[in-house]
Chain A
C-alpha cells in the first residue's frame, strides 16, 4: 500500500465528510437550532478513524452492516459532544455517514496500491465535493428566498437565523406576505402585464422573424452576406447604449409609461437572435420539399405556412421560450420606460417595492418568488427546448 495514497484517501474523504456535516449544521442552524461550532478537529479525526477502520475491516463485514455500525458510532459521539439535539438532526447525521461509508466502501488495501490511485481518490472525492458544494451554493439563495417569504419581520428580529416555517399556523398567517403583495401592492395586475408583455413579444417576434429568417436562409438577394453578419454584430450591442436616445425619443412621442412601447423595444432587441436561430434551422430543411411546393404554384406565404412551419416546430419552440424568458426577466427597459405603478411589469414592481426602505423584506422575497417561479417552472418543464435556445442565443445575457 502506498503511503501517499493512504494519507490522501483518509484525509480527502474526511475533509469531504466535514464539509457535508458542516452544510448540514448550517441548514440545521437555520431551523432555529443553537449550534455554535463546526468541531473541525473532532469531525476530521472521526472521519480519518472511520476511513482507516474501513481499510482494516475490508470485506470481513457486509457493507450494509459496516455502514450502519459506522453511522451509529459517529452519531453517538456527535450526539454526545453536542447534546440536546432534536431527533431529525441526528437522523440527518446518520444518513450522511451511511452515504459516506458507501463511498469509501470500494477502497481497500489492494486498489490503493494501483498506479494513479491517489489521483483517482482525489478525483472521486473532489467530484462528490463539487456536486455537494455546487448544489448548495446554487440552491441556497433560492431556498432563502422561499423561506424568508414565509417569516415575519418580528420573528426574524428575535432570531435572525431561525427560518423554520411553522406549518401548524393558520394558512392565512402562513401566506400573509403573498396576500399582502396581491392585495396592497396589486401584484395580480403586474403578473397580467408581465404575461401580456412577454407573450406579446414572443408572438410579434415570431411574426417578424420567421419570414426574415426564411429570406436569409433560402432566397438570394443583394446584401445577403452583409445582412447575416450584421445580425450578429447588432446582437452584441447592449441595452445600456440604447437607453438614452430611446428614453428621449419615447418621452417626446409619449410612448413612456406605455406597455406598447415596451413591446416594440423587446421585439426589436430579441429579433436578431430569433432570426439567427431560425435561419440556421431553416437551412437544414431539405430544399426538395419546397421545390415540389413551387411546382404546385404555392407562393412564399404558402411555403412558409404549409411546409416550413410544420417542420420547424422544435426550433420555433426554442426561440419562443428563449424570447419569453428574456422578456419576462428584462429589467433595464422597464426601469427606464415605466414610472407609473399602473403599468409596471413584475421586475419593475419588485424594484419599486425595494425602493421604499420601510418595505418588510418578506414582501420583497414573496414578490421575488412570484416572479421566479413561472420562469423556473417553464425552464424545468421545457428544458430540452430552452437549453438549445440558450446555447444558440447565449452570446447574449
Chain B
C-alpha cells in the first residue's frame, strides 16, 4: 500500500517538475552543449540561414492575343554558398487554361503545373517562362493569375548538422586572439570590480547600520543603481563622461581641477607623473570598473547590512564596558562577524563580474583596452560574423566558470562542515 503511495508521489513530482525542467533544459543546458558542437565547426553568421528556393512571379500580357498570357518566374537560390537539391515547383492555374510548349522538366495536370528542377548550385538564377492559353479563346484574367503564388521546396545541407569538425577555432582563440591580453583585462575588471563593490558595500552598510534621520530613505537610494535599467544608466554615464559636452569634464575644467578634458571612456592609457616616475593607468578600463562598482556595490551592501543587523547588541555593549573605541569595535567584533558573508559575496560576484557583458558593451563597446572575454564572444560572433569562433570563446568562459564554481562549492562545503 505504502509502496503505491510513494509511487504516486514520485509520479506527481515528475509531472510537476517536467514543464520547468524541459524549458530550462532546452533554453539553458542545450545551448551550452550546442556551444561545444558549434565551436568545432567553421561557421559564419551567413551560413546559418537555411538556403531556400525562391521564385518571383511576373505576369505579362502578349500583344494581339488576349487569350494568351506570359508568366516569367525569376527563380533563384537564396543562399550564396550552399546548394539546394531536388527542387520541386508547384503553381496553380485558372480553369480552362493550358500551357503551350511546356518545359520538359514540368508536367501539367488538373490545373496544376508541377516541375522538377533538380539541383540548384549556390547563387543559381534562372528566368523560367510559361505561356498559358485559354482553351475556349476567352480573355485570361491577369489578376487571378497574379494572386496564385508558386510553392517551392528543396533539400539542403544544414551546415550545423553535418559532421565536419575542425580545431581551427580553438587554435585561433589561443594563438591569434591576443588571448593573454583578453584574459588579463577580464581578470583586472573582475577582480577590482568585485573588490571595490565589496569595500564600498561594507562602508555603506556601516553607514546605514547607524541611527540617523532619513535612514530608510538612504537605504532605498543606495539600491537605485542596482535596480535601474542598465541601458539608461550606462548612457547617462556616457553623457556625463563625454570629453567635450560631458558634465563631469566641464565641471572639472570650470573649477580648474584639470586643464585638458579627459576622454575617460575613449583613452586607453593615462600617464601620470608620480614623483618623477611615469605611471601608466588603464584609463578606460578604470572608468568601466568604477561604473561596475557604482552599479553593484548595493548588492554587497544589502548582504552585509543584513548580517550587521543580526550581530547581537550585547557584544557591542560588552565592548563599551571594556572601554573599546570605534576602531577596535569594528576590527574585533564587526569584521569577524562579516567575513563569512564577504567571502561568499566575493566568490559570487567574482563569477558574475567575470561574465558581465552589457555594462562594458554599452559604455565602450570593448574599445580602448576594455575588451573582456564576454565582449569577445559578441565581437567574434556578430561583428566579425564568425559563429564558430564566438562559440569557442564561450567554451573557454564556461570552462573557467566551472573551475570557479568547483572552488566555490568546495569552500562552501568546507564552511558548512565547520559549522
Contact = CB atoms under 8 A, between A and B. Distances in A.
A368 B232 contact: yes
A267 B405 contact: no
Given A127-B212, A139-B221, A145-B236, A267 B23 contact: yes
Interface in A346-396: 346-347, 350-351, 354, 361, 364-365, 367-369, 371-372, 375-376, 379-380, 383, 386-387, 390-391, 394-396
Q: Which 8 A-B pairs have the closest CB atoms?
A: A268-B27, A238-B355, A116-B325, A368-B232, A245-B31, A245-B34, A211-B16, A221-B13
Interface stretch (A30-38, A71-79, A164-172, A284-292): A30-38
A120 interface: yes
A25 B239 CA distance: 21
Interface string A209-233: 1011011100111101001000001
A354 B363 CA distance: 11
Interface string B382-414: 100001001100100110010001000000000
A76 to B, nearest CB: 23
B256 interface: yes
Given A239-B357, A391-B306, A350 B27 contact: no
Interface stretch (B101-109, B143-151, B243-251): B243-251
A241 interface: yes
A241 B251 contact: no
Given A138-B222, A142-B224, A391-B306, A252 B233 contact: no
Contacts of A211: 16-17, 19-20
Interface residues of A, number: 103
Contacts of B14: 215, 221
Contacts of B20: 208-209, 211-212, 271, 275
Contacts of A311: none
Contacts of A347: 229-231
A141 B294 CA distance: 11
B28 interface: yes
A127 B204 CA distance: 9
B49 A251 contact: yes
Contacts of A300: 12, 16
B38 A245 contact: yes
A145 B227 CA distance: 16
Nearest to A246: B31
Given A119-B326, A236-B401, A354-B235, A244 B207 contact: no
B126 interface: no
Contacts of B204: 130, 134
A313 interface: no
Interface string A256-287: 00000000110111011001000000000000
Interface of A: 25-26, 29-30, 35-38, 115-116, 119-120, 122-123, 127, 130-131, 134-135, 137-139, 141-142, 144-145, 148, 156, 160-161, 163, 208-209, 211-212, 214-216, 219-222, 224, 227, 233-234, 236-249, 251-252, 264-265, 267-269, 271-272, 275, 300, 325, 328-329, 331-332, 336, 346-347, 350-351, 354, 361, 364-365, 367-369, 371-372, 375-376, 379-380, 383, 386-387, 390-391, 394-397
Nearest to B33: A245
Given A236-B405, A368-B231, 6 more contacts: A135-B218, A212-B16, A227-B21, A242-B27, A376-B224, A379-B224
A138 B227 CA distance: 12
A161 B351 contact: no
Contacts of A391: 302-303, 306
B362 interface: yes
Contacts of A376: 224, 227-228
Given A131-B207, A271-B24, A329 B247 contact: no
A25 B231 CA distance: 30
Interface residues of B, number: 93
Nearest to B396: A241
A245 B12 CA distance: 33
B302 A390 contact: yes
Contacts of B394: 240-241, 243-244
Main secondary structure of the interface of A (DSSP, over half): helix
Interface in B118-144: none
A131 B212 contact: yes
Given A208-B19, A332-B357, A387-B223, A145 B232 contact: yes
Interface string B4-39: 001001101110110111011011111110110010
B240 interface: yes
A210 to B, nearest CB: 9
Contact of B28 (A30, A227, A268): A268
B289 interface: no
B266 interface: no
A138 B381 CA distance: 35
B334 to A, nearest CB: 12
16 contacts: A26-B251, A116-B325, A119-B327, A138-B221, A209-B20, A212-B20, A220-B6, A220-B13, A245-B31, A248-B43, A252-B50, A268-B28, A272-B28, A351-B231, A368-B236, A391-B302
Contacts of A247: 381
Contacts of A249: 31, 34
A211 B15 CA distance: 9
B222 A234 contact: no
Contacts of B16: 211-212, 214-215, 219, 300
